[in-house]
């Protein structure tokens, strides 16, 4: 009898621990994962690739983004002005700008950070149910650096194409997009981009060697994976309906391919996403759906009933009705 009761108590405690862990994981804001992963990407580039980014530029970027975010939150007297949620977005955008943008002076990065964070409050649109800012701040900053600011350029290929780095990007990026329910966008974009690149090499008559290596480098380098998992899959600046955002991702891939390999212009992914972002309110108006919310926006995953422990009454009944197993003598 004691063995049965102890087993039941142990089972209940284990089940409660599993359920509690699952609920805590579901409530954790996905932006913490984005910050962790983008920080690792920045560190990989800074310490492993030694690209031209100074500590002063990094500090000025983060300082400008955070101060701009605070100025808008408090200046507009927003209900959540005392919450840290908005500052997470500022940190994520700062990491993206530091990863992508290079400059020969110290003022470019803080100016871009201020403009990018201000765009969240100044450039908004869409139907009432899913009205939001139109532009991904990091994408806006990258486009502005390339198109408008002197002495600035983009450095999207700093990680090379090593398979270990690619697997690291895929694993971490996949976790983030799964947390925000946008893995479909990333996969749709990557599949379309890989097919277009492969078709181009086939039309040009490349043999498998070196064509296969060229295709792998173009389809899975760090810049493409960063774009797929952390930019085109932004839940706030992509169409809200699942089927529509898949079509959106495919069109972005096609547009970027035409820009880069037909028109022979640089930075196709950054440019086409910037242009496509202005059409998102139309997509959401034609196919409306409730806007994603960072905290509590996506329903937490349902817990398997096999892991749910019995409630107090059920557990007490199990203990009272448990019958000890008596050994059978003489067998």
Q: Determine contact, residues 30/297, Cβ cutoff 8 Å.
A: no
Residue 322 lies in a domain: no
How many structural domains compose the chain?
1
Distance CA 229, CA 208 (A): 28
Return the structure tokens found at 207: 């043999």
Its sign, for the CA torsion 182, 160, 252, 41, is positive
Q: Each residue of 92-126: pLDDT tens digit?
A: 999 999 989 999 999 999 999 999 999 999 999 99
Q: What is the pLDDT of residue 51?
A: 65
Distance CA 226, CA 232 (A): 9
**Sorting pLDDT into bands at 50, 70 and 90, what band is 272?**
very high
Its sign, for the CA torsion 100, 104, 106, 107, is negative
Residue 40 lies in a domain: yes
Strand, helix or coil for residue 124: strand
Distance CA 145, CA 112 (A): 7
Q: Determine contact, residues 324/1, Cβ cutoff 8 Å.
A: yes
SS (H, E, C) 63-81: HHHHHHHHHHHHHCCCCCC
Q: What is the pLDDT of residue 273?
A: 97
What is the percentage of the chain residues whose pLDDT exceeds 90?
46
Q: Determine contact, residues 171/229, Cβ cutoff 8 Å.
A: no
Helix (H) or strand (E) holding 125: strand 124-125
The answer to whether residue 194 scores a pLDDT higher than 80 is yes
Exposed/middle/buried for 152, CB within 10 Å: 0-12, 13-18, 19+?
A: buried
**Sorting pLDDT into bands at 50, 70 and 90, what band is 176?**
low
Its sign, for the CA torsion 228, 234, 238, 242, is positive
Q: What is the pLDDT of residue 202?
A: 94
Residue 321 lies in a domain: no
How far is residue 251 CA from its own chain's centroid?
19
**Sorting pLDDT into bands at 50, 70 and 90, what band is 32?**
confident
Distance CA 194, CA 253 (A): 9
Q: Each residue of 47-83: pLDDT tens digit?
A: 666 567 899 999 999 999 999 999 999 999 988 788 8
Residue 302 lies in a domain: no
Residue 199 lies in a domain: yes
Q: What is the pLDDT of residue 3?
A: 63
Residue 266 lies in a domain: yes
Domain extent for 63: 31-286
Residue 8 lies in a domain: no
Give the contacts of 224 (CB within 8 A, at least 6 positions apart).
190, 193, 218, 269
Mean pLDDT of all residues in the chain?
A: 79
Residue 297 lies in a domain: no
Beta bridge partners of 132: 125
Q: What is the pLDDT of residue 131?
A: 87
Q: Determine contact, residues 115/101, Cβ cutoff 8 Å.
A: no
Q: What is the pLDDT of residue 139?
A: 96
Q: What is the pLDDT of residue 122?
A: 97
**Sorting pLDDT into bands at 50, 70 and 90, what band is 25?**
very low
Torsions phi, psi of 154, nearest 5?
A: -105, 145
């Amino acid at each position: 009898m004691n063995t049965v009761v102890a087993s039941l108590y142990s089972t209940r405690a284990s089940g409660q621990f599993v359920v509690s862990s699952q609920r805590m994981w579901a409530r954790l804001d996905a932006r913490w994962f984005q910050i962790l992963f983008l920080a690792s990407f920045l560190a990989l580039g800074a310490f492993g690739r030694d690209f031209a980014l100074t500590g002063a530029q990094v500090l000025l970027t983060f300082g400008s983004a955070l101060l701009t975010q605070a100025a808008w939150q408090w200046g507009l007297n927003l209900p959540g002005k005392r919450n840290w949620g908005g500052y997470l977005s500022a940190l994520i955008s700062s990491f993206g700008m530091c990863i992508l943008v290079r400059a020969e002076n110290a003022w470019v990065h803080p100016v871009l950070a201020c403009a990018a964070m201000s765009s969240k409050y100044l450039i908004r649109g869409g139907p009432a149910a899913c009205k939001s800012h139109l532009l991904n701040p990091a994408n806006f900053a990258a486009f502005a650096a390339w198109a408008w600011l002197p002495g600035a350029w983009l450095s999207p290929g700093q990680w090379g194409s090593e398979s270990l780095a690619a697997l690291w990007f895929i694993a971490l990026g996949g976790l983030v997009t799964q947390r925000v329910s946008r893995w479909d966008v990333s996969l749709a974009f990557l599949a379309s981009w890989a097919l277009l690149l492969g078709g181009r090499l086939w039309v040009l008559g490349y043999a498998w060697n070196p064509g296969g290596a060229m295709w792998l480098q173009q389809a899975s380098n760090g810049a493409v994976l960063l774009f797929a998992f952390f930019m085109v899959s932004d839940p706030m600046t992509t169409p809200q309906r699942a089927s529509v955002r898949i079509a959106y991702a495919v069109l972005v891939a096609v547009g970027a391919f035409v820009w880069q390999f037909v028109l022979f212009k640089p930075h196709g992914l950054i440019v086409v996403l910037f242009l496509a972002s202005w059409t998102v309110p139309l997509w959401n108006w034609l196919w409306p759906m409730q806007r994603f919310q960072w905290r509590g926006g996506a329903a937490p995953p349902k817990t398997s009933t096999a892991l749910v422990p019995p409630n107090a009454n059920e557990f007490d009944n199990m203990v009272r009705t448990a019958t000890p197993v008596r050994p059978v003598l003489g067998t």
